[in-house]
Amino acid sequence: GQQLNQSPQSMFIQEGEDVSMNCTSSSIFNTWLWYKQDPGEGPVLLIALYKAGELTSNGRLTAQFGITRKDSFLNISASIPSDVGIYFCAGLNYGGSQGNLIFGKGTKLSVKP
Amino acid sequence: NAGVTQTPKFRVLKTGQSMTLLCAQDMNHEYMYWYRQDPGMGLRLIHYSVGEGTTAKGEVPDGYNVSRLKKQNFLLGLESAAPSQTSVYFCASSYSRGLNIQYFGAGTRLSVL
């Protein structure tokens, strides 16, 4: 089945640093979504992307829908402690057998000791 | 702003016991989903529903049953719980398949001893 490779699996940040993560797939997607999950909570939508090449921002977060439609990137600028959590990418292929979201395994963001 | 509400939030079962997890959404969404989240595995789709009275299997449906008798509710049942079903369960809903932005509940933490 379709799979998303999300990297890195985990990373440590210091306040003020910029953060980058990405998702790649061998399949084409029509929509890319980025979610954040805080400890003990459900995932919350951060950004939705609908067109190849689209670049969308939400505050300090910027996400891009790759030109090939097989990847997406999320950048966080000037990180703050509340950015800690797990970030998930999700792709949707309208023409797939289910038309359901496929989720990456997540990037866990932690604060450097 | 209730959104997606899951009950219970926590539950401990003994092997072989049965239970039902309830998901309720107040956004008039057609589509509803049940996922399980395990460490390092991301979100895996158990079952989903495209409308009242319909259900379909997802990626990991074995050992679970679902029902969607009312549009706003989606029930997940475990007939005979097994330790392998220890997980965090998330319910989600979306307006449609094409506009598949899914909104998640806060999760149910289930331990099967």
pLDDT in tens, B46-65: 999 999 999 999 989 999 99
Asked whether residue A2 carries a pLDDT value surpassing 70, the answer given is no
* Closest chain A residue to the Cα of B99, Cα to Cα: A31
User: Do B45 and A100 lie within an 8 Å CB cutoff?
Assistant: yes
Q: Is A111 part of the contact surface with chain B (CB cutoff 8 Å)?
A: no
The pLDDT of residue B2:
74
The pLDDT of residue A101:
83
Mean of pLDDT over chain B: 93
Does the bond joining A8 to the residue before it have cis omega, within 30 degrees of 0? yes
How many residues appear in chain B? 113
The pLDDT of residue A99:
59
Q: Can you tell me the mean pLDDT for B82-99?
A: 89
Tell me whether residue B5 is exposed, middle or buried, using C-beta atoms within 10 angstroms of its C-beta: 0 to 12, 13 to 18, 19 or more: middle
C-beta atoms surrounding A94 within 10 Å? 11
Asked whether residue A87 carries a pLDDT value surpassing 70, the answer given is yes
Nearest beta carbon to residue B42 from set A42, A94, A105:
A105
Q: Which of B102, B103, B108, B109 to mutate to test the interface with A (most CBs of A within 10 A)?
A: B102
User: Do B101 and A33 lie within an 8 Å CB cutoff?
Assistant: yes
Asked whether residue B98 carries a pLDDT value surpassing 70, the answer given is no
User: Do A43 and B90 lie within an 8 Å CB cutoff?
Assistant: yes
Asked whether residue A95 carries a pLDDT value surpassing 70, the answer given is no
Asked whether residue A98 carries a pLDDT value surpassing 60, the answer given is no
Distance from CA of A15 to the nearest CA of B (A): 26
**Interatomic CA distance for residues B90 and A42, integer angstroms:** 7
The pLDDT of residue B13:
96
Q: % helix / strand / coil in chain B, to the nearest 5? A: 5, 50, 45
| Interface A:B, Cβ pairs < 8 A | 53
Does the bond joining B83 to the residue before it have cis omega, within 30 degrees of 0? no
Q: Which residues of B18-50 are buried (b: 16+ CB within 10 A; e: fewer)?
A: ebebebbbeeebebbbbbbbeeeebbebbbbbb
User: Do B100 and A1 lie within an 8 Å CB cutoff?
Assistant: no
User: Do A106 and B98 lie within an 8 Å CB cutoff?
Assistant: no
Asked whether residue B6 carries a pLDDT value surpassing 80, the answer given is yes
> What share of chain A has pLDDT > 90, as a percent?
77
